[in-house]
Structure 1
Amino acid sequence: MDASLICDELCELDLDVQSTDEFFEKMSVKAQTLGYVTANFLQAIKEREFNYPTALPVEPYPVAIPHSDPVNIIKQFIAPVRLKHEIDWCEMANNDNILKVRVVFLLGFKREEGHVELLQLLIENFQDKEIMDQLLAAETKEKFLDIVKHLKGF
């Protein structure tokens, strides 16, 4: 997979948010300001998340992979984010189950093709306890990004 999709300027380390809405609001402003998404991105991603939640119940730690429809993406990106604290996030395909999420990979793709393979690759990495422990322990944004850019398959 192409590591150039990993966006340094959209990466956040210890983003302080209390909810998914606050996460989407902060990340949407940043992504729109930097020219990655349209003005409609925030509303679109909130609606999509409400209808199709994106938290994965992977072990050792749940991870969220929110994404919007391609029409709202200007430049493709993968924005890896570590939250300061766990927040409640609805489980994918099971809106009634709430997971505690601290790692989020916000995805922005202009086309549908290839993203299934990327998701499979990310899930494989998210199930590796050593990798997840490293992501949670990274002391700097640079170290965090280095771990992300060296995930298996990138």
Structure 2
Amino acid sequence: MDVTLDKELVFRNIKVNSDKEVLAYLADQLYKKGFVEESYIEAIQSREREYPTGLPSTQPSVAIPHANYELVHHTTLAIATLENPVVFHNMEDNDSLIPTQIVIMMAIGEPHGQVEMLQKIVGIIQDEPLRKQMVAAETDQILLNLLKKAIA
């Protein structure tokens, strides 16, 4: 699977007040840069309501929102670290809430690509020092390099 990782899709310490706000922001960036259809923006929100993407782990926690591959032009990831955590619902237990500080939005343009990418991202979730480095990254390039290394 060929993944384009673009420095223009790296956002550090953004200020948002909710999961909806960060989802809209990242999906909009993907759309503006031509990676996804405009309908991806709404698709990501409705999918999150039905199938939450907060992953249980030690802090800082990660969410991995994604939507239908048919809405994706080019496979990529958008990543945001949040100045203050926002609450995502737990992927494994809808009623459980997870304060999340890293959001990795997957725009995967192949039917089975999401599973492959999820397996790579699980490595990030299991690596607390890496997650802490991501939140502490002082430049977009450092954060992008950490992401590249993690999914290589």
Q: Fold conserved (TM > 0.5)?
A: yes
C-alpha distance after superposition, 1:42-85 (max 9, x if no partner): 11111100000001002343210000101211221111211111
- Stretches (4+) displaced over 4 A: none
Shift of 1:11: 1.2
Shift of 1:116: 1.4
User: Aligned equivalents of 2:25 and 2:91: distance in 1?
Assistant: 22
Which moves more between the two structures, 83-92 or 110-119? 110-119
User: Aligned equivalents of 1:34 and 1:14: distance in 2?
Assistant: 20
Shift of 1:106: 0.3
User: Aligned equivalents of 1:122 and 1:33: distance in 2?
Assistant: 24
C-alpha distance after superposition, 1:60-117 (max 9, x if no partner): 4321000010121122111121111100100103110110000011000111223213
User: Aligned equivalents of 1:129 and 1:24: distance in 2?
Assistant: 23
Partners of 2:36 and 2:74 within 8 A in 1 = yes
The residue that corresponds to 1:76 in the other structure is 75
Where 1:95 maps in the other structure, the secondary structure is coil
The residue that corresponds to 2:146 in the other structure is 147
Q: Please tell me whether residue 92 in structure 1 is matched to residue 91 in structure 2.
A: yes
Shift of 1:121: 2.0
User: Aligned equivalents of 2:135 and 2:32: distance in 1?
Assistant: 27
Unaligned runs of 5+ residues in structure 1 are: none
Which amino acid letter does the alignment assign opposite residue 31 of structure 1?
L
Which moves more between the two structures, 44-53 or 122-131? 122-131
Count residues with an aligned counterpart.
Answer: 152
Where 1:28 maps in the other structure, the secondary structure is helix
Measured at CA, do residues 140 and 92 of structure 1 come closer, stay the same or move farther in structure 2, by a change above 3 Å?
same
Partners of 2:35 and 2:72 within 8 A in 1 = yes
The residue that corresponds to 2:52 in the other structure is 53
- Report 1:114-125 matches (<5 A): 114-125=113-124
Where 1:96 maps in the other structure, the secondary structure is coil
The residue that corresponds to 2:102 in the other structure is 103
Partners of 1:60 and 1:128 within 8 A in 2 = no
